Structure 1
């Protein structure tokens, strides 16, 4: 009888460790999946990616959230300083184009949905950062400069999170 109880306990522990049941924003290095960041987002499930634009060397911030169903990542705003090469000069559809008090351009009311977001970590000036609430994480500290990473909302096991880097936003 003790063997069955012990076997049942070990099975439950294995399930708790190896079955993916926690939803996380995962950032995976596409060249080697061994480098993975698991991000616990706050209740509002919002984060942003901020970087320095390579041509006009000004800051750009893209705002994202994970909707209730968690199937996609939704971009809901874009904040930037210059409308020159590579940046929009107006909004599309129901989006709202405006200027902030400090003179930056803001496109809000965006509803751009992605199942994942691929990004190449800047090698020279981009300095890609992920912002969650008041915390900021330089992606080049977790992944190498020039590496391609994928942002995706998915379930992760405790074992996978132990192998990767866990960030509590």
Structure 2
């Protein structure tokens, strides 16, 4: 009887550790072997990616959320300072193009969904950052400048999170 109880406890513990049941935004380095960054998002499941535009040297902020079904990442807004090279000068379809009180450009009402987002962390100027709630993390601190990373929403196990780096936006 004790063997069955021990086996049951072992199975429960192994399941809790190795079965992917927690949803996290994972940031994986595609260009070298590095620890995966697991991001615990707030209840609204929103985050932003911020960077300095390499040509204009002005700040750009892309706003994302994970919709209820959790299968994709949806961009819902874009905030930036210049409409010249590399930046939109108008909105598409149902999107709304406007100016903020401080003179920045805002495209809102965006509904652009992606299974994942790939980006290269800037080597010189960009200083790519991820903002979760009131916390901000420089991606180059986790992966290095010039590395290619992939943002993807997925289920992950406690074991995978222990092997990686977990951030929760409470910095």
> Normalised by the shorter chain, which TM-score bucket?
over 0.9
CA RMSD of aligned residues (A): 0.8
Pair 1:147 & 2:147 matched:
yes
CA contact (8 A) 2:28 2:150 kept: yes
Shift, 1:11, TM fit? 1.0
Pair 1:72 & 2:61 matched:
no
Pair 1:89 & 2:111 matched:
no
The Cα offsets for residues 17-67 of structure 1, whole Å up to 9 and x where unpaired, read as: 000000000000112454200001000000000000000100000000000
How does the TM-score come out when normalised to structure 2? 0.97
Aligned length: 169
Aligned to 2:157: 157
Pairing of 1:1-169 with structure 2 (within 5 A): 1-32=1-32, 34-169=34-169
Gaps (5+ residues) in structure 2?
none
Shift, 1:3, TM fit? 1.2
Gaps (5+ residues) in structure 1?
none
Q: Which runs of 4+ in 1 moved over 6 A?
A: none
**Closer/same/farther in 2, CA of residues 83 and 146 from structure 1, 3 Å limit:** same
